[in-house]
Amino acid sequence: MADENPKRPAFWNRKERKDGQDEEPKSGQKEIWEQPFAGYKVYDKIAQGGSGAVFLARDERLGRDVAIKALTPDLQSNENAVDLFFNEARNVARLRHPNIVRGYDVGRTGTYFYFVMEFVRGESLGVKLDRLDRHRLQEKEAFRIVREILKALQCVFETGLVHRDVKPGNILLGNNGDVKLCDLGIAREVAFATPEAVVMGSPSYASPEQVRGDCDIDIRADIYGLGCTWFHMITGQPPYRGETAQQVMQKHLDEEADLPSPRDLDPRLSAATSALIGWMMAKDREKRPRTPQQLLNKMREHPLCKMIEEEERHRDAIARISTPTLDELKEELLGDLIHGDRVVDDDEPAADAAAATDAGGEGGGEQADEQAEKVAADAAEEAQELTENARKLEETLSEIQPQE
């Protein structure tokens, strides 16, 4: 629920949208929204929490939709809140993976600290579970989501970080099938650990070592949180429940509070899935998978994995049929230029080359090569953009982050 405060700017007090993140920006809203972020046109508020809000905006320079997370005005002078905010920007700059939300820009206006991120058109896993009648997913769909998040966590692990708050609300499901991990605000380097005065994480998904406030949290805490999330996805409820957060956290700690089997709640669920969740949620972290990759390797033995991989092979085959390879494109361009039977379309990448030469010209092969090289260059553009984004984020952070 939006937290209105008459002392905050009217911009901040606007209500967030209630119907998910699946609408195009409405041009009619341009005149009624204040525009505090230079270079970005804000269209809507899509989420708000205690420490900040997320706005849907348009990057006017690059012509793409983005999500802008802004720190609550009330917290601008709160050193811990500002530290967490910039920590997320720094971590996103370090983590480049298709299953992790990308960061584009970070800055400060007269009123806000803000962070510009990839906009995932869809909804969070938490929102999806809440809106479903039985608050749960099919076992195969849940398996696929867990597998994608484990790939993200392997990147987190290899970078030397721990997310520390893996839960349904921090997993985004794109309308195109993408699965992405987000909200890296409380992520920390494994080597940097101090005892916490409060539990860093969410009670229903926090590992026993997080509840205890241990200072040596590692990636196995994230594996535990993902196990809790998997349990929730297939049963419709978190593994441990209680009347208060303290009661829930105590059950994570209590060795005698046995983990309920997902099959007790739904006998149709497979024993293999229940066994994997039990392994992930072992109260002694030494009995959990050591790394996300170890768990991914084990998941390959699951019958559902074979089904999903077969479906992915079929999709890849269709994509290969509909998207020509570089050599195929060169061959097609050369043939069209030699035989002069190509119908030129301004929207096609070969249009300029086809229009620039007569059939049979000796320059046809060279022009085909040029067009093919252009396709290759375009394909590499996104990777270059990611590298440049990371560099700019690091530079901007060093300029605007408050000095200790």
CB 40 within 8 A of CB 116: yes
- Single-letter residue type at 35: Q
Q: E strands of 20-144, at which residues?
A: 40-48, 52-59, 64-71, 103-108, 113-118, 122-124
* Dihedral angle sign, alpha carbons of residues 209, 211, 212, 213: positive
Residue given tokens 């937290």 in the structure block: 3
Burial class (CB in 10 A: 0-12, 13-18, 19+), 364: buried
Check 105, 165, 218, 222 and give the catalytic one: 165
Integer Cα distance of 386 and 93 in angstroms: 9
Integer Cα distance of 36 and 38 in angstroms: 6
Number of CB atoms found within 10 A of residue 146's CB: 24
CA-closest candidate to residue 91, choices 190, 223, 173: 190
Lateral strand order in the sheet of 171-174? 122-124, 171-174, 179-181
Distances (CA, A) of 168 to 101, 227, 272, 273, 373: 15, 11, 22, 18, 42
Distances (CA, A) of 396 to 64, 65, 295, 297: 21, 21, 37, 39
CA-closest candidate to residue 155, choices 98, 74, 80, 71: 98
Integer Cα distance of 325 and 317 in angstroms: 12
DSSP lists the bridge partners of residue 378 as none
What single DSSP character describes residue 123?
Answer: E
CB 231 within 8 A of CB 133: no
CA-closest candidate to residue 209, choices 220, 197, 243: 220
For residue 380 the two structure tokens come to 């590499």
Active site (annotated) includes residue 336? no
Active site residues: 165
